[in-house]
C-alpha cells in the first residue's frame, strides 16, 4: 500500500470518527434502556456464551430476534466501563465499515472513487441512529461482516473466509442474509468471478451455514411471538405492501436529501395506505421509478460499479422494505445503514475521474455538509430526555410522542396531564403495552386505583411477558418517592409473570 492510499484511508477514517466524537458524551436512550441497563444478560460474564441461547430481547421484554454477537459485545463493554466505552466501540465499528466501503471502491474503481464514496458513507446523516445509539450496534456489526464477506469472496475468492464472515454477520443481525446475493451480483457485474468449481464450493458453504443458522435461530425463538410494525397491526397483506411502497418516498429522501431526520415514524406520524388512489402511494411509486431509471442509465452507459452500487442498495434494503414480509418497523433510519453502502459505491464511482482541486472540492463539500448535519444530530441520542424532545419536535403526531411525554409530566408533577397523554397514546395505538403501564402509574398518582388496575389488565392482554417495562416504571415511581406505587406495579407484574 503506497503513501497516497494510506492517506486516503486515513482521511475516510478521520471523517467517520470526527463527526461522531460528540457521541462519547451520550449515555443511554431509547432501546438502550432495555437492551443494556435492564438486561441482566449483559450484566453477567456468563452472557458471553448464554447470549447465543437467548433472544435479543429478553423474555421479560417480549422475547424476539436473534443477535447474539452484539449482546456478547455489550457484556464486554459493561464490564470495562460506563456508556463512554459503548459509544467508543460503536465509533470504531463505524470507522471500520467506512474503511471497508473505501477498500472495495479502491479495488473496483480507484482511489478517487474510494475517497469520495468512503467520505459519503462516513458522514451520511442517516447513520446517526445506528452509530450514536448503543442499540445501533447490530447494524454496524452486520454491515462490517457483510462487507468482509463480499471482499473475501470477490477479491480473495475464499469460500472459507467469506462464509465465516457471513456467519458472523448473521449472528449480528438478520439483514446480513443478503451477503450471498451481493456476492453473486458482484460476480454478475464482472468483479472477481471465480471458476465454476469455486462457485460450487461457495454454494455448498452457504447452504451449510444458512441451514445451521435457521435451525439455531428457530430453536431459540420458536416459543416467542412474532411482531410487526405498529402501523401494520390488523392490516391486510395488500395494505401492508401499499404502505411499504409509499414509504419509499421517505427512504429516498433520507438517502439523497437527509435534512429532516426523525427518531420515530410510528402511527399518527405515518399511517397505513389503504387505497391505490392515496397520493402517498403515488409518491412512493415515483421514487421507485427514479431509482430504476438511475440503474437503467448506469447500465446503458457502461458503468458497472455504479450499477453494482444501486443493486447493492436494492438487495440490502429488501429484507427491511416490508415488501417480502412485514418486520417490526415501517421506517427506521438505522435500517438504512447497510443499504447506504451501495449508495456510497454508486456515488463514489461517479467521481472516479476527478483529480486535484476538483476532487478536493467535492470531498470538502460532502464532508462539511454531511458532517455538520451528522454532528448536530448526534446529541439527540444523549439521553432519554433529549430523545423525547426530538420525538415531540420532529414527530409530534406519533403516539410515541404522547407515550414518551408521560414520565416527564410525572416528574414535573403534572399527573393529570400525564394520564391524559397516556390515554391519547392508547387511543391512537391500543397495542403498545408501555402505554397501559405508564397510564396505570399515572392513574395511581391521581388517586384512581380502579382505573390503574383496568389499564394494567389491558396492557397484560397485549403483552404478558413484558416484565421489564414494569421494572422501569417502578424505578420511576421510586425516583418520585412513590414506593407504594412502585410496589403495586411490581406486585402486579410478578403475579402476571408467574402465570
**Calpha distance 478→484 (Å, rounded):** 9
- Are the C-beta atoms of residues 352 and 114 closer than 8 Å to each other? no
478: region left, alpha or beta (phi > 0 left; psi from -120 to 50 alpha): alpha
What pLDDT score does 60 carry?
62
Hey, CA dihedral for 393, 396, 402, 404, is it positive or negative?
negative
What pLDDT score does 72 carry?
97
**Calpha distance 166→301 (Å, rounded):** 32
Q: Is residue 149 classed exposed, middle or buried when 0-12, 13-18 and 19+ CB atoms within 10 A define those classes?
A: buried
Encode the chain (499 residues) as per-residue pLDDT tens digits.
Answer: 788 899 999 999 999 999 999 999 999 998 898 899 888 899 999 999 999 999 998 776 667 899 999 999 999 999 998 899 999 999 999 999 999 999 999 999 999 999 999 999 999 999 999 999 999 999 999 999 999 999 999 999 999 999 999 999 999 999 999 999 999 999 999 998 999 999 999 999 999 999 999 999 999 988 777 778 888 988 899 999 999 999 999 999 999 999 999 988 888 888 899 999 999 999 999 999 999 999 999 999 999 999 999 999 999 999 999 999 999 899 999 999 999 999 999 999 999 999 999 999 999 999 999 999 999 999 999 998 899 889 988 888 888 889 988 988 888 889 999 999 999 999 998 888 889 999 999 999 989 989 999 999 898 888 766 777 888 888 888 888 889 888 888 888 888 766 4
Q: Please give the full DSSP string across 81-143, using - where no structure is assigned.
A: -SHHHHHHHHHHHHHHHHHHHHHHHHHHH-HHHHHHHHHHHHH-GGGHHHHHSGGGHHHHHHH
| Closest by CA position to 107, among listed 189, 179, 13 | 189
**Calpha distance 175→335 (Å, rounded):** 9
Q: Is residue 211 classed exposed, middle or buried when 0-12, 13-18 and 19+ CB atoms within 10 A define those classes?
A: exposed
Classify domain 398-497 by CATH number.
Answer: 1.25.40.10
Per DSSP, 195 falls in state P
**Global model pTM greater than 0.85:** yes
| Overall residue count recorded for the chain in this entry | 499
What pLDDT score does 61 carry?
64
- Are the C-beta atoms of residues 55 and 224 closer than 8 Å to each other? yes
What pLDDT score does 188 carry?
96
**Calpha distance 146→24 (Å, rounded):** 26
What pLDDT score does 291 carry?
97
- Are the C-beta atoms of residues 35 and 44 closer than 8 Å to each other? no
Q: Using DSSP, state whether 64 is helix, strand or coil.
A: strand
What pLDDT score does 85 carry?
97
- Residue 64's φ and ψ, nearest 5 degrees, are -165, 160
**Calpha distance 415→418 (Å, rounded):** 5
Per DSSP, 382 falls in state S
Beta-carbon count within 10 A of 378 CB: 22
- Are the C-beta atoms of residues 421 and 401 closer than 8 Å to each other? no
In terms of DSSP H, where are the helices of 378-466? Answer: 384-394, 399-411, 415-428, 433-445, 449-462
- Residue 431's φ and ψ, nearest 5 degrees, are -125, 10
What pLDDT score does 7 carry?
94
**Calpha distance 74→57 (Å, rounded):** 13
| Closest by CA position to 198, among listed 166, 145, 149, 154 | 154
The residues, ordered by sequence, that sit 6+ positions from 33 with a Cβ below 8 Å of its Cβ are 384, 472
Domain ranges of the chain: 3-226+334-381, 398-497
What is the grid cell recorded at 123?
A: 458522514
Amino acid at each position: 500500500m503506497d503513501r497516497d492510499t494510506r492517506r486516503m484511508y486515513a482521511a475516510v477514517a478521520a471523517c467517520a470518527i470526527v463527526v461522531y466524537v460528540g457521541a462519547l458524551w451520550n449515555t443511554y436512550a431509547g432501546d438502550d434502556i432495555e437492551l443494556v441497563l435492564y438486561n441482566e444478560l449483559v450484566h453477567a460474564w456468563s452472557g458471553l456464551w448464554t447470549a447465543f441461547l437467548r433472544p435479543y430481547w429478553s423474555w421479560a421484554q417480549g422475547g424476539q430476534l436473534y443477535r447474539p454477537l452484539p449482546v456478547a459485545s455489550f457484556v464486554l463493554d459493561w464490564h470495562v466501563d460506563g456508556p463512554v466505552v459503548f459509544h467508543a466501540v460503536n465509533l470504531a465499528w463505524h470507522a471500520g465499515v467506512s474503511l471497508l466501503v473505501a477498500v472495495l471502491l479502491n479495488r473496483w474503481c480507484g482511489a478517487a472513487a474510494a475517497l469520495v464514496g468512503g467520505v459519503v458513507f462516513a458522514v451520511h446523516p442517516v447513520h446517526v441512529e445506528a452509530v450514536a445509539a448503543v442499540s445501533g450496534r447490530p447494524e454496524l456489526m452486520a454491515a462490517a461482516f457483510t462487507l468482509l464477506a463480499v471482499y473475501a469472496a470477490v477479491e480473495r475468492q475464499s469460500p472459507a473466509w467469506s462464509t465465516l464472515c457471513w456467519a458472523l454477520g448473521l449472528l449480528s443481525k438478520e439483514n446480513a442474509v443478503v451477503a450471498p446475493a451481493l456476492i453473486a451480483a458482484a460476480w454478475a457485474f464482472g468483479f472477481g468471478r471465480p471458476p465454476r468449481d469455486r462457485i460450487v464450493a461457495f454454494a455448498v458453504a452457504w447452504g451449510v451455514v444458512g441451514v445451521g443458522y435457521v435451525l439455531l435461530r428457530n430453536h431459540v425463538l420458536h416459543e416467542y411471538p412474532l411482531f410487526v410494525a405498529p402501523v401494520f397491526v390488523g392490516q391486510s397483506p395488500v395494505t401492508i405492501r401499499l404502505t411499504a411502497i409509499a414509504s419509499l418516498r421517505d427512504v429516498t429522501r433520507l438517502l439523497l436529501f437527509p435534512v429532516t431526520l426523525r427518531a420515530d415514524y410510528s402511527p399518527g406520524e405515518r399511517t397505513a395506505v389503504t387505497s391505490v388512489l392515496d397520493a402517498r402511494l403515488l409518491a412512493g411509486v415515483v421514487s421507485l421509478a427514479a431509482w430504476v431509471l438511475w440503474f437503467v442509465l448506469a447500465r446503458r452507459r457502461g458503468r458497472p460499479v455504479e450499477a453494482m452500487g444501486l443493486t447493492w442498495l436494492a438487495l440490502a434494503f429488501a429484507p427491511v422494505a416490508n415488501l417480502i414480509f412485514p418486520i417490526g418497523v415501517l421506517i427506521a433510519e438505522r435500517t438504512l445503514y447497510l443499504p447506504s453502502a451501495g449508495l456510497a459505491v454508486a456515488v463514489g464511482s461517479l467521481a472516479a475521474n476527478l483529480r486535484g482541486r476538483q476532487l478536493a472540492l467535492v470531498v470538502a463539500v460532502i464532508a462539511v455538509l454531511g458532517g455538520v448535519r451528522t454532528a448536530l444530530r448526534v446529541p439527540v441520542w444523549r439521553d432519554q430526555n433529549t430523545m423525547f424532545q426530538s420525538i415531540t419536535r420532529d414527530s409530534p403526531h406519533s403516539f410515541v410522542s404522547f407515550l414518551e411525554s408521560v414520565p416527564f409530566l410525572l416528574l414535573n408533577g403534572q399527573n393529570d396531564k400525564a394520564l391524559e397523554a397516556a390515554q391519547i397514546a392508547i387511543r391512537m395505538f391500543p397495542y403498545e403495552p408501555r402505554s397501559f403501564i405508564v397510564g396505570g402509574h399515572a392513574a395511581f398518582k391521581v388517586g384512581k386505583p380502579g382505573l390503574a388496575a383496568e389499564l394494567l389488565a389491558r396492557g397484560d392482554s397485549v403483552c404478558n411477558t413484558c416484565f421489564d417495562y414494569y421494572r422501569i416504571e417502578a424505578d420511576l415511581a421510586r425516583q418520585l418517592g412513590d414506593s407504594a406505587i412502585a410496589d403495586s406495579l411490581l406486585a402486579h407484574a410478578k403475579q402476571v409473570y408467574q402465570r
